[in-house]
Homo-oligomer: A and B are copies of this chain.
């Protein structure tokens, strides 16, 4: 009976019926939101040779050959000038246990404080590039600056990966980096929070062989 009511038919047209079987999507607008985003602690030397670190979540791998990783920073950051001057940076990847210092490194500037000293962490001079990394973090990526790309509020620094170093305690028995031992942080841009890594779901290039 209600199906013949023209007011009802007006807002339940047949061609939209499929939508009732699936959740509706809500528009959140044009924003910087993908999942997951990483928590990178970017290590550089300042003009006086003081080691500095800052936390950044805009970045990721961007090329396989040569292996490259990108990280985007605002021009106002101390680290930005350091990378331009030294043409090198490192990415130290904090564990869950380091969440407090990782968050702190995104809140204060190396212009004002010696972040390594405040956090009681140890800067290690890379043997390959002109930048320091965080000794206490389980995984570090050493980069030589390869490209500098202006995108607007942020400059994207593309680093050629020179080496990846991982704590022996975070390696699997086959010598690969075990993500469940590294225990990296995931940042959620929308809700501004840190999450951990969950359980193993499936083997890649394998689980989807037949669907």
Contact = CB atoms under 8 A, between A and B. Distances in A.
A136 B184 CA distance: 28
A24 B170 CA distance: 10
Contacts of A49: none
A151 B62 contact: yes
A167 B25 CA distance: 4
Interface string A2-36: 00000000000000001000111111111111111
| Copies assembled | 2
Interface in A105-124: 105-107, 118-119, 122
A75 B193 CA distance: 36
17 contacts: A25-B140, A26-B171, A28-B175, A31-B161, A31-B164, A32-B61, A33-B161, A34-B60, A61-B72, A99-B207, A100-B202, A103-B209, A106-B205, A107-B208, A156-B158, A176-B190, A196-B197
